[in-house]
Structure formats: structure tokens, C-alpha cells
Structure 1
Amino acid sequence: MGKHATILTSGACAASIDFDGALAILAAHARPLGKESVALADAGGRHLAAPVLARIDAPRRDCAAMDGYAVRDADLKNGTIFLRSRGTSYAGGAKPGAISAGETWRVMTGAPLPHGSDRVVMIEHCRHRGELVALDAAPLGKPHVRKAGSDFVAGDELLAAGTRMTAARRVVASAADHSEVEVWRRPRILLVATGDEILAPGCASRMPNAIPDSLSGAIEQMCVLAGADVVARLRLPDNEQAIAEAQQEASADVVVVIGGASRGDRDFGRSAFASLGLGVAFADVAIKPGKPVWYGRLGQTHVLGLPGNPTAAFTVASLFLAPLIAGLSGGKISDALPWQLRHSTRPIPPNGPREAFLCASLSYEGAAICDRQDASGQAMLGLADCLVRRPAHAPTANVGDLVPVLPLC
């Protein structure tokens, strides 16, 4: 199982590990799941479990890169040139015969070239007069010929194992004549939202003490965008037994517990799984917001506990859940944390003893932190599209200073 963090006794407040240390532990556990072959149509966003090798050459034969006339360089001289047309070659057609001195073939883009030709003169520079083609001047520059195998040849590795399939990479796999690829399996996620007070959105107004469950749907969308399948979504009361039994509801690779992560009288998120033999890998991370986050293993199942405060939960999911999914999917933890340096467009006050991740909005000018950094707030998330990372005890950041920024999905 590897290194586990020391779990503090009830009532303790000090963090037990910093963000980078917790992320390193997560990376050590987030190993790819099983392999499977899928159709290219279903491979979008998946990570390759095996390289994609070309099955054919591309191009498969010398072909025209432009519409025009295939000629021999030896026939091109200064002044107007007249060549006799032998016919037309189309893409996908049979290769035309050879051309001799003073001859040409009309060719369409992608069409095979006649033997002996070494240049295509663009159609804009030619005049067709019966059987003769007139070139007003000898062409210069590119020959507009794509040589056989000039892009790749059979056996070339075009996509490495671990590559994430995108629309552009689907072009490559298709061009290599593959109808399917071998990928790592998508993680199956079970979401468990806890709290006596939470009801489905749209129902809370019927009860005076209820609040809408604003997190389950958002975390589900984040999981899907990160490349996972959410197999079940439960909303449970603050009941330790009910939470412990939730793991039996679905065959999941990851259980995400939303709420009950702190040390209140009804915070049963961690203790419910501890009763089943949970091995905690880290907890109480020195970050703000989201200090109560915890992560462990229950056999082969990964269990991640998110705080119940909405902004804290969303921040922690961006920092830990998305990377966990990336690692289990065959990618790198860093794939889900594409930090970039951007200029701060507003002053940022000095930071306290815990590393902070501040909600901010991005523009072409840089990042502007939101006015209110409230872990339990929700309205701020309507403005935030990135997190600004601030080291512990960081001094004031002035307008124009470069700060690390993480775009939010």
C-alpha cells in the first residue's frame, strides 16, 4: 500500500501533510486499470494502452499534391512551353502509364503520377488547347509531389502508448488503417453525498431546514469530463452504517464521499469506511480551502473524501479527483493539473500558514482573484474559471506579478 499519513486524534486541527506530498502519494496509488480494445469512434479522451503502428504506407504511391499537370522537369525551358496531354489521372484510380519527352497528364489532388514525371504544375498556370497544354513560364518552387511513404511507412509508430486520443489523433489512427485501438479502461465512480439536510435540487424549497445538493451533479460532470464513468450516485443521511453499506451498491473503482470529512459529531465519511478496513493514505492536507480531504484504499477500491463546503469540495476535486482519474485511466497525474504562469490583474493579499488555492477569473490580460474567498460559498463559482496557487506565507502579489494558475474544467 505504500506510505500512509498519520491520522490525528479527534479534535486535532494541525495538517499532517502538504499538497505536493499528498499528490505524490496519490500518484503512487493511481495505476492504470485493465486494458480493452475499442472502436475509434469510442476512443475519444481515452489513453492508449499500446502504441499505434502504421499498417500501410502514406502516401501509398507518388501522387499529386495539387490539381494540375504532371510534367518532366527536363521538358521545362524558358518561355512558353507546349506539351501533349495523354489523359487524366484521378485519386483512387489506376496508375497512369509513363510519360515521354513533350508529354503531360492532367492530375487531380491525390491522383497517382505517371512514371517519369517529377513535378505538378498548378492548373492556374496552364492553358489547355485541344490536345496541347501551354505553360506560359517554367514553374519554380515546390514540385507539388507527395512521394510514396513521405508521411509514414508501414511499421512506423505514430502514436505512443499513454497518448490521450483526441480528434486530431483519431485522424492519425485512421490514416494508419486502424478501426480500433487498445486503451486503458475508464474508471468506474460511485458518488456518495452525505448530509441529513441535503435534498435533490428543486425540492429544498418545500422544507424549511433543507438545502439543495449542489455538489453531486457538478462532481459527476467533472468525473465524466475527466474520463470516468459514474456508475451510481447516492444521497445518504448522516448515518455511519448507511454510508458503510454504500460501497456495496455498485462495482466501482473509486468511491467519492462528499461531505462528512471533518470532525463534527455527524461527520461519518471516513469512519464509516474505516470500519470496513480502509487504509488511509493521507488526510488533513495543509491547503486552504479543503484541509479535511482524505484518501485511502479499501482493497482495490480507491476512496476519496471531499469536504461538504461547496467551494472547498470543488477545489479539492480539481486538485485530487481529476488527477486520480487521469492516473487510473493510463495518463499522468500532471495531465489533470496543467499549471501555467499568468499575470495577476489584481493585488493578492499575503497568504497564511497553509498553501491556498484561490478562485479567480481568466482573461487575455491574466488572472483576477474573486472578491470573496469563502469555502462554503457557491455564488463565487459562477465567476471562477481557474485557481490561483499561493504558497504558504506568500507575500502580497502585485498587479503584473506572475502567479501559477490552474484552469478549471
Structure 2
Amino acid sequence: MISFDAAAALVSGLARPLATERVGLDQADGRVLAVPLVARGASPAVAVSAMDGYAVREADLSHGSVSLPVVGVAYAGQGFGQPLAPGACVRIYTGAPAPAGADRVVVQEAVRDEGGVAYFAEAPCGGRHVRAAGCDFRAGDELLAAGLRLTPQRLIAAAAADQSELAVVARPRVMILSTGDELHEPGQGPGGGASIPESVSFGLAALVRAWGGEVIGRRRLGDDLSLLQAAAGEALQAADLVVVTGGASVGQRDYAKVMFAPFGLDCVFAKVAIKPGKPVWLGRAGGKLVVGLPGNPTAALVTARLLLAPLVAGLGGQAPDRALAWRRAPLTQALEACGDRETFVRGQRLAAGVAPLSDQDSSSQRALALADVLIRRRPGDLAAAIGDRVEVLEF
């Protein structure tokens, strides 16, 4: 059994980005850039107006009150089409190319336009309201570094760089296998007490997607070893990462590891000294990664947040450490001393800090629905009082 920090370090070492693929901008949301994004051209390509107004030569307004003939109009995407002659002006709109020779735009509120003649009451001052060519970026500029996750803001920059496709890291394909004869599909229960709805896979699938993975399937499997081994083989062929829940103890029907034995299972770690979730394990089989999670819902989701999330993130090109961004927050309720096993207390964010939930049972699902932070308690931590600052992780 190893410590949480040791397990997290092993996960980080295995969480290497997958292959690169090209996708269109419409499919790039949330993906991770595999190579830097470089602009194909300048933005703006030519000098453009930053305001609605009149394009002028600065020298023509240097003597105060003056009138100038309006010799044309410039719209966004359709310029005046010729240089601006001295002693004239052009009606111009935001984003329109500034005529050659024009070095200022006077905002329309400061101009009186009567019958094709613009009257300027005084020499302008302040901003020129002209965006110079390339003032945002130039051709060949690197706008986004490799490894960045594509957000709405970054997709705008990518489109502005005139790129229709982007090189991104492939999403890790994840198969989720839930084991146990006691499980039935939600909504299809027999009504008796011997069977329970299978709930864990739905939360795990959502977590995988949140951290950049693609769930290619969820399977609910009974405790039949031949069936489990067949499902394991199919999952290893189809997925980059297989997640199996339940069957991690030492009972007669605990087959979570045994089902991968025919494919050369090599355990990276078999247990982690944490509470909840000690039975969590990580291995390789058939050239793929396999994560084994406890069957109890809370234990499964806590260990998935701590160890599966950084693994999925890293395989998808993100920094694994991004999934373990601990911060400190004050307690609003006291916590008792921690034992010899590192403990992750489920809690809630409040305006004044974080509050541990009263129900910390590893199978509780009602309390799990209320938890949005994990409070980290290291082995041997003393009791913590209200106001003490503790390590927390968004859950």
C-alpha cells in the first residue's frame, strides 16, 4: 500500500498525451492544442477605424474650426477605395479600412454633416481612433502555446488567426465496466432489496468528459469470470483507458483484477493509504491502462476525482497537476484529528469557507450529492478548529 502523493506521482508519470489529430473549429471546444497556434495573417490586415465618424488628415484640422467636403463612404469590408486627398474627408464606420493618407477619425458626435459638407468646430484631441495594421498580431505570431485547452476566448483567437483546423491531442477513449451481481440498470429494478441501481458509472462518465475524455461505453457486468474476461478483452481493444468498478476486495467473487490476468495485467499500485478508497488500483494490460475503483459510490467518485481525473487530463494533453489544484480555505465547522490514513472529507463551499458534511459514509449517495469540495486531512493531523485553514480541492 502506497501513499496518496506516491500514487499521484505514478499517475502523473503515466499521463502522457496521446496522438495528434486535426479537427475543425466547430469540434475544437475543450480540446488541447498539440502544436502552437500561429497566425496566418495580420490583424487587422490594414489600418481600420475604431469608431463611427469621419476619416481626415490631421493637418487639415490643425487650425481649429474648419469645413471639409465629404468625398465618399467607407464601410467594414468595403473601403473608400482610393487615397484621401488633402482638404477632404470620408464618412467612415467602425471596422472600415482607413483611406490611405487619413491619420485620424473624428467621432461623429463631434461633427455636423450638412449636405455633403462636414463641419469640425475645433481641432481634435485625444485618441486618433485608428487601429494600425497588425496592431493586434502579425503573420507568423504565436497566439496560443501548445498544451493550452481551447476555451471560447481561445477559439475566437484561433478563428481570427484564419485557421479553419487545429492540431489537437486526441481525446482518451474510456470504457467503464461496472461489476457485481447485485446491480441493475436504473429504472429497471425488480423491486426487491437484493438488487440495487448501478449508479457509479454515470458519475464516472461525467467526470471523464469533464476532464477531456471520451466515454465510448458503459457496461454493467455480473460476477461471471468468463464473461468478465471477455468484456475486459473487448474493452482493451477499443479503449485507451479502462475503468472497472467493484470487485477489488478479497471475496470469492471479486474478479476486478483477475478479469485482466489473461492480458498480462501488471499492477502499478494495488492499494492506496487513503480514506475512502483504499482498494483503488492502477495497472497495465494489453498495452492499455486500467484503473480499478471501489464499488461504493462515494469511495469510487472520490478516488476517481483524485486519481482518474489527472490521468484523463494528462492523456488528453493537459497538465495532470491541473486536476489537483489544492487551495486553502477556512473551516466553518471543527474537524476531529486524522488517523494514520490520509482522509478526504466531503464538504460544501460556503460564503465563509468550507463545511464538512455530517455523513461521511463511503456508500452514502444522498450526502455525495451535496459535496462540492474535498477537504484533505493528512495522516496524524491534529483536530482543526473553526477558522483554521485547510487544504481543499474542487469536487
Question: Residue 59 in 1 paired to residue 44 in 2?
Answer: yes
Cα separation, 2, equivalents of 1:118 and 1:363: 55
Q: Unaligned 5+ residue runs, structure 1?
A: 1-15
Q: How does 1:4-403 map to 2 (within 5 A)?
A: 16-77=1-62, 79-250=64-235, 251-403=238-390
CA distance in 1: counterparts of 2:323 and 2:9, whole angstroms: 14
- Structure 1's 118 and 326: CA in aligned 2 closer, same or farther, altered over 3 A? same
SS, match of residue 330 in structure 1? coil
Amino acid across the alignment from 1:351? C
1:359 counterpart SS class: strand
Secondary structure of 1:262's counterpart equals coil
| CA distances 1:147-178 after superposition (whole Å, capped 9, x unpaired) | 00111111111111111111111101111111
Q: Give 2:260's aligned amino acid.
A: F
| Alpha carbons 2:68, 2:118 under 8 Å: kept | yes
RMSD: 1.7
* Contact 2:73 2:79 (C-alpha < 8 Å) held by counterparts: no
CA distance in 2, matches of 1:115, 1:180: 34
The code of the aligned residue for 1:214 comes to: S
CA contact (8 A) 1:240 1:269 kept: no
- Contact in 1 for aligned 2:232/2:259 (Cα 8 Å): no
1:404 equivalenced with 2:391 (yes/no): yes
Instruction: Report deviation, 1:289.
Output: 0.8
Q: Percent of counterpart pairs with the same letter?
A: 46
What CA deviation, in whole Å up to 9, does each residue of 1:17-40 have, x standing for no partner? 111111111111121111111111
1:215-256 per-residue CA deviation (whole Å, 9 max, x = no partner) reads 111211222222222222111122333222212234111110
Q: Is 2:73–2:80's contact at 8 Å kept on the other side of the alignment?
A: no
Residue 12 of structure 1 aligns with which residue?
none
For the residue of structure 2 that corresponds to 1:230, the secondary structure is: strand
Look up the equivalent residue of 1:142 and give its one-letter code: G
CA drift of 1:60 comes to: 0.3
TM-score by length of 1: 0.91
Alpha-carbon distance in 2 for matches of 1:32, 1:214: 30
Equivalent residue letter for 1:405: V
User: 2:120, 2:374 → 1: CA distance?
Assistant: 61
Letter in 2 for 1:212: P
| Alignment TM-score, normalising by the size of structure 2 | 0.95
Q: State the secondary structure of the residue aligned to 1:204.
A: coil
The one-letter amino acid of 2:360's match is Q
| One-letter amino acid matched to 2:375 | V
SS at match of 1:327: helix
TM-superposed deviation, 1:65: 0.8
- Alpha-carbon offset, residue 119 of structure 1: 1.6
CA contact (8 A) 1:293 1:304 kept: yes
The alpha carbon displacement at 1:404 in A equals 2.2
Point out where structure 2 has 5 or more consecutive residues left out of the alignment: none
Residue aligning to 1:5: none
- Contact 2:338/2:382 (<8 A) preserved: yes
Which residue identity does 1:228 align to in structure 2?
Answer: G
Task: Measure the CA separation in 1 of the matches of 2:130 and 2:45.
Answer: 13
Which amino acid is 1:290 matched to?
Answer: G
Moved over 6 A (4+): none
Rounded Cα–Cα distance in structure 2 between residues aligned with 1:361 and 1:345: 10
